[in-house]
Amino acid sequence: MFFYKLKMLMMVLFMLTACLFSSCKPSPQANAVQNGGDPMTLQVTSEAFGNGGMIPPKYTADGQDMSPPLSWGPVPQGTQSIALIADDPDAPMGTWVHWLMWNIPPEQTKLTEDIPTQEEFSNGIVQGTTSFKRVGYGGPAPPSGTHRYYFKFYALDIRLDLGSKADKKALENAMQGHILAQGQVMGKYSRQR
């Protein structure tokens, strides 16, 4: 009886091992995640300012209030969409959200300056509701001192089913568990008074 159970157990283990090695393929997230489960890094840059540099006034409320040009990449295999969160953690009433965008096509690697402040685009991109209570980019306008503005990009393994009324919290909740890679560029701004 003992040998029969041992033989059965060995057969089950052999079949499980064969099944695992023959049919298991790593998921896109497994391919993209490195170093113990941390998302890969996206390289994010702007032609308008260097990381940690000053944002030119034309991209602020003191100027033309147009969105700055931004580039990112490379995105990992399995990326279905890109999302953007731009915010100011130095705002006196807590983090102020300046821009939300998602469902950027994975083959797109940049945003030109002065993106229109519309809710949705023909290619599926959606812009969300910021702390200004409107969609689209709203430039820096710090009440005092020098503030930091983070432009954070996320490569996602899904397209998001969110409308333009969604805010940062809704976007972050929808992205949870779907981030393959992320990166950011930070610019600073101080008002000229």
pLDDT tens readout for residues 70-100:
999 999 999 999 999 999 999 999 999 999 9
pLDDT score of 8 more than 70:
no
Which pLDDT score, from 0 to 100, does residue 1 have?
56
Give the Cα separation of 90 and 108 in Å (integer).
Answer: 30
Which pLDDT score, from 0 to 100, does residue 85 have?
98
For residue 64, give the 3-state DSSP assignment. coil
Q: Is residue 90 part of a domain?
A: yes
Q: Is residue 15 part of a domain?
A: no
Which pLDDT score, from 0 to 100, does residue 193 have?
62
Q: Is residue 153 part of a domain?
A: yes
Q: Is residue 132 part of a domain?
A: yes
Q: Is residue 22 part of a domain?
A: no
Positive or negative: CA dihedral 56, 57, 58, 59: positive
CA dihedral 130, 131, 134, 135 (to 10 degrees): -10
Q: Is residue 81 part of a domain?
A: yes
Which pLDDT score, from 0 to 100, does residue 188 have?
98
CATH number for the domain including 97?
A: 3.90.280.10
The more confidently predicted of residues 90 and 24 is 90
Which pLDDT score, from 0 to 100, does residue 192 have?
76
pLDDT score of 16 more than 90:
no
Q: Which residues of 154-185 are buried (b: 16+ CB within 10 A; e: fewer)?
A: bbbbebbebebebebebbeebbeebbbbbbbb
Which pLDDT score, from 0 to 100, does residue 39 have?
80
Which pLDDT score, from 0 to 100, does residue 17 have?
43
Q: Give the model's confidence band at 177: pLDDT under 50 very low, under 70 low, under 90 confident, else very high.
A: very high
Q: For the residues 29-49, what does the mean pLDDT come to?
A: 71
Determine how many CB atoms are found less than 10 A away from the CB of residue 101: 23
pLDDT score of 190 more than 90:
yes
pLDDT tens readout for residues 112-138:
999 999 999 999 999 999 999 999 999
Q: For the residues 141-148, what does the mean pLDDT come to?
A: 95
Could you tell me where the beta strands, DSSP code E, fall in the chain?
40-41, 43-45, 70-73, 81-88, 96-104, 110-111, 126-127, 146-156, 179-190
Q: Is residue 11 part of a domain?
A: no
Q: Is residue 18 part of a domain?
A: no
pLDDT score of 26 more than 50:
no
Q: What percent of the chain has pLDDT over 90?
A: 78
Which domain range does residue 81 map to?
28-190
Please tell me the total count of domains within the chain. 1
